[in-house]
């Protein structure tokens, strides 16, 4: 024999399923389609190339200016690159010391 | 339309279905070709119904009717029936729908949707979770709690412990 929970569930499920489905007419369809037409084209999915051109290329002029400014600054500051120090050690390893290089 | 008709009141079904179609159109970009279109559309319809109830409960527009003597008799008849026949025919009675509407109106929008999908429609927890866009754990917990609440609600008019 079925327990009380099963009985109630079966009866309520049947009541739920028996609910009438609303029949829509052409007028409803016309109204929905009219609304959709008024919205215009749907938003397209964002693709990578579009995002790239939108954000990365916009930053390109600023990045170029920064590169030029940093180059000028490095030249004016008389910056000695590390490879020049290395070259000094390599060409004259016996005479040159770190102390001599730094003037101590 | 069938999905919306089951979840919202008859007089609100057209408007809610309208909203569901507009939402589907606006979300077309999120549809991936490999998905099942019907399933995708069903998911939007269910979520639109859920939003409908959330708005309704927030604005306290859900009618809180009370059970009459006929409703209590209907419940008692269902429970006292000792035959092994299908109990579906009890559902065709007007009282059945009114008892169901009364009980669902006492639940929250979340409990209502889960109860309808899992308990009344017989969907699996996973299917209900996919339609609602929730985690399966959330649906499982809500399903258990909402069923308990329903049992408690229905036990009230006919005596504690009758529906366990």
User: Is the domain of B43 the same as that of B75?
Assistant: no
User: Is the domain of B40 the same as that of B83?
Assistant: no
User: Is the domain of B86 the same as that of B43?
Assistant: no
Q: Which of B2, B7, B100, B148 to mutate to test the interface with A (most CBs of A within 10 A)?
A: B100
CATH code of the domain in which B27 resides: 1.10.1740.10
Of all helices (H) and strands (E), which one includes residue A57? helix A48-76
Final residue of a structural domain among B32, B62, B92? B62
pLDDT, tens only, B49-91: 999 999 988 877 666 667 777 777 777 777 777 666 666 666 6
Cα–Cα separations (whole angstroms), residue B164 to B4, B110, B148, B154? 31, 23, 9, 10
CATH code of the domain in which B89 resides: 1.20.140.160
The minimal CB distance from A42 to the residues B29, B116, B151 is found for B29
Q: How far apart are CA A51 and CA B43, in angstroms?
A: 29
Give the pLDDT band (50/70/90) at residue A102. low
Provide the pLDDT for residue B129.
Answer: 94
Query: Rounded to the nearest 5 degrees, what angle is found at the Cα of B93, between the Cα atoms of A5 and B109?
Result: 60
Provide the pLDDT for residue B118.
Answer: 93
DSSP state of A41: S
Could you report the predicted ipTM of this complex, rounded to two decimals? 0.75
Query: Rounded to the nearest 5 degrees, what angle is found at the Cα of B87, between the Cα atoms of B82 and B93?
Result: 120
Report chain B's mean pLDDT, rounded to a whole number.
Answer: 83
CA distance B135 to chain A (A): 24
Say yes or no: A7 contacts chain B, CB-CB below 8 A. Answer: yes
User: Is the domain of B76 the same as that of B44?
Assistant: no
User: Is the domain of B58 the same as that of B70?
Assistant: no
- Domain count along chain B: 2
B98: closest chain A residue by CA: A15
Provide the pLDDT for residue B134.
Answer: 92
User: Is the domain of B133 the same as that of B150?
Assistant: yes
CA A36 to chain centre: 30
Residues within 8 A of B (CB atoms), A 15-34 only: 15-24, 28, 31-32
Give the pLDDT band (50/70/90) at residue B136. very high
The minimal CB distance from A12 to the residues B18, B28, B96 is found for B96
User: Is the domain of B47 the same as that of B109?
Assistant: no
- Judge whether residue A94 has pLDDT over 70: no
Question: Structural domain boundaries of chain A?
Answer: 4-101
- pTM listed for this prediction: 0.67
Say yes or no: B33 contacts chain A, CB-CB below 8 A. Answer: no
- Residue B74 near residue B95 (C-beta atoms within 8 A): yes
Final residue of a structural domain among B16, B36, B62? B62
Range of the domain at B115: 66-164
User: Is the domain of B7 the same as that of B51?
Assistant: yes
User: Is the domain of B93 the same as that of B20?
Assistant: no
User: Is the domain of B46 the same as that of B91?
Assistant: no
pLDDT, tens only, A12-26: 888 888 776 677 778
A4-34 b/e (C-beta count within 10 Å ≥ 16 → b): bbebbbbbbbbbbeebeebebeeebeeebee
User: Is the domain of B47 the same as that of B70?
Assistant: no
User: Is the domain of B58 the same as that of B73?
Assistant: no
């Amino acid at each position: 024999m079925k327990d009380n929970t099963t009985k109630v569930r079966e009866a309520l499920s049947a009541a739920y399923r028996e609910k009438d489905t609303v029949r829509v007419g052409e007028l409803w369809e016309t109204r929905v389609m009219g609304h959709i037409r008024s919205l215009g084209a749907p938003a397209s999915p964002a693709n990578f190339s579009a995002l790239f051109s939108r954000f990365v290329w916009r930053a390109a002029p600023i990045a170029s200016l920064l590169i030029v400014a940093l180059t000028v600054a490095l030249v004016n500051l008389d910056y000695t690159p590390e490879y020049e120090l290395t070259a000094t050690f390599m060409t004259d390893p016996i005479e040159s010391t770190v102390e001599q290089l730094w003037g101590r | 339309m069938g999905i919306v008709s089951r979840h919202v009141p008859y007089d609100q079904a057209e408007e809610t279905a309208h909203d569901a179609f507009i939402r589907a159109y606006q979300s077309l970009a999120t549809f991936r070709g490999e998905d099942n279109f019907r399933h995708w559309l069903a998911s939007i319809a269910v979520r639109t119904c859920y939003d409908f109830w959330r708005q309704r409960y927030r604005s306290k527009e859900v009618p809180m009717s009370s059970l009459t003597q006929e409703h209590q008799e209907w419940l008692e008849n269902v429970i006292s029936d000792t035959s092994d026949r299908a109990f579906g025919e009890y559902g065709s009675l007007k009282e059945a729908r009114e008892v169901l509407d009364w009980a669902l109106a006492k639940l929250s929008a979340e409990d209502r949707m889960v109860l309808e999908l899992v308990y009344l429609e017989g969907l699996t927890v996973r299917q209900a979770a996919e339609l609602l866009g929730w985690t399966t754990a959330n649906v499982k917990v809500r399903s258990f709690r909402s069923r308990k609440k329903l049992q408690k609600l229905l036990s009230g008019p006919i005596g504690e412990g009758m529906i366990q």
